[in-house]
Amino acid sequence: MAPLTAADLQADLVDLRRALHREPEIGLRLPLTQAKILAALKDLPLEISTGESLDSVVAVLRGGRADRENGAPAVLLRADMDALQVRETSDVPYTSHVDGAMHACGHDLHMAIAVGAARLLSDRRDDLPGDVVFMFQPAEESPGGAAPMIAEGVLDAAGPRVVAAYGVHVSSAVSHWGHFQIRRGSLMASADSIHVTVRGAGGHASRPFRARDPIPAACEMVLAMQTHVTRTHDIFDPVVVTVGTFHAGTRENVIPPEASFSATVRAFNPQARAKLESGLRQVCEGIAAAHGLDIEFVWESGYPPTINDEIEADFVADTITDMFGGERLHWMSDPEPGAEDFSYVLEAVPGAFFFLGACPKEDDPATAPINHAPDARFDDAVLADGVELMSTLAQRRLEKASSA
């Protein structure tokens, strides 16, 4: 009997991906999605467990060539499961049946790729010198499912801690179909938030000297934060501060007692991130004090930067080049300012995260709707290549670890 290939799985994986797309779920609890993944894995020789605090799935494949007496190595492959609060407007025939929810970020493809890798590696089980952990994770978009899965033991699901972890993310635009993008070191940004409330004393707008107006001070803070960024942070190690909300007042002739604003804060390394928190707090509190106002400054920590291990990034790049040719591999000159909670995994173990272009071949990736857009479209023809790559990464990394 001929060995199983990713191409053999393509039709079934397309059906799975489209079934997942029709019934998207949001957040930590994804019962329908979890049930589909469990059904897709049920006939495979896997040790399967589900999460307690979230509807995750962890599946462990035991390699037939593993040296159990000396500690068999394990490798982790991750797929996120959740959708977005987006009302789909794409014209695909398998459009979302759930109003206000859509797989607009391609997580349905990620799940199908991971299921395909589980099937392919199960067929190659006798040749594996170690174990593979499949991590199906809810709530990547929000509030974050990687950290609770780590707390519940996913990195140690095979016994010893995994020696490496890999994740792939499809893109509906920017990159051409079937092309891979990767970067050593910082790949994606952290994503934190600040929430600032400035409190003074209200009064009549015709007599501002009899009030303590919070609006000019809050406006000054918004502008001063941008000056702080350009004057204290290295331009070759950029950070981003963007105010997304600003609220104050009820009428044009009334000075309100308080003003508030919120901002997203992005950095590409832990040092710049920590410097931002202390610096922005100092700027806002200093301005409030200068105006004789009270202030509440809240820093809300989000995902840390996604930082690829340099050796693992090179390993992924070499594998892509070997399998698909160098013309399909692209080294990113700049990191991506979006955030990703696979960052928690990469904080704990070596690994790499990379992108796979899934823009439909008939579309121009420069103008196609981007991830998270309500009309984003992903070409599921990339599934077979994703399966073959993830499976090969796991097998080759186990070979490398077992021969070290």
pLDDT (tens digit per residue) in 166-219: 999 999 999 999 999 999 999 999 999 999 999 999 999 999 999 999 999 999
Give residue 139's pLDDT: 98
* 157 and 250 share one domain: no
Query: Does position 161 have pLDDT exceeding 90, yes or no?
Result: yes
Torsion angle in degrees (nearest 10) through CA of 330, 336, 338, 344: 80
The answer as to whether 145 is a domain residue is yes
Q: How many domains does the chain have?
A: 2
For residues 182 and 206, membership in a common domain is answered with no
Confidence (pLDDT) at 69:
86
Q: Is 216 exposed, middle or buried (0-12, 13-18, 19+ CB in 10 A)?
A: middle
**Averaged over 232-255, what is the pLDDT?**
97
Q: Are 396 and 63 in contact (CB under 8 A)?
A: no
219 and 240 within one domain? yes
Q: Say what the pLDDT of residue 404 is.
A: 79
In the chain, count of helices (H) and strands (E)?
9, 16
* 389 and 270 inside one domain: no
Note whether residue 1 is domain-resident. no
- Mean pLDDT over 231-235 rounds to 96
Co-location of 32 and 107 in the same domain: yes
Residue range of the domain that includes 227: 191-303
Residues 272 and 145 both lie in one domain = no
Last residue in a domain, options 303, 337, 360: 303
Is 156 part of any domain? yes
Specify the CATH number for the domain of residue 224.
Answer: 3.30.70.360
Domain boundary pick from 251, 284, 303: 303
Q: Pick from 34, 44, 37, 14: which is nearest to 118 by CA?
A: 44
Q: The domain that contains 319 carries what CATH number?
A: 3.40.630.10
Q: How confident is the model at residue 1 (pLDDT cuts 50, 70, 90)?
A: confident
pTM score, two decimals? 0.96
> In this structure, is residue 72 part of a structural domain?
yes
CB of 206 within 8 A of CB of 194? no
pLDDT on residue 100 = 97
Report CA 221 to chain centroid distance, whole Å.
30
Q: Is residue 323 part of a domain?
A: yes
Q: Does 127 share its domain with 218?
A: no
The CA distance from 398 to 74, in Å, is: 7
| Mean pLDDT of the chain, nearest integer | 97
pLDDT score of 70: 84
pLDDT digits (tens, 9 = 90+) for 337-377: 999 999 999 999 999 999 999 999 999 999 999 999 999 99
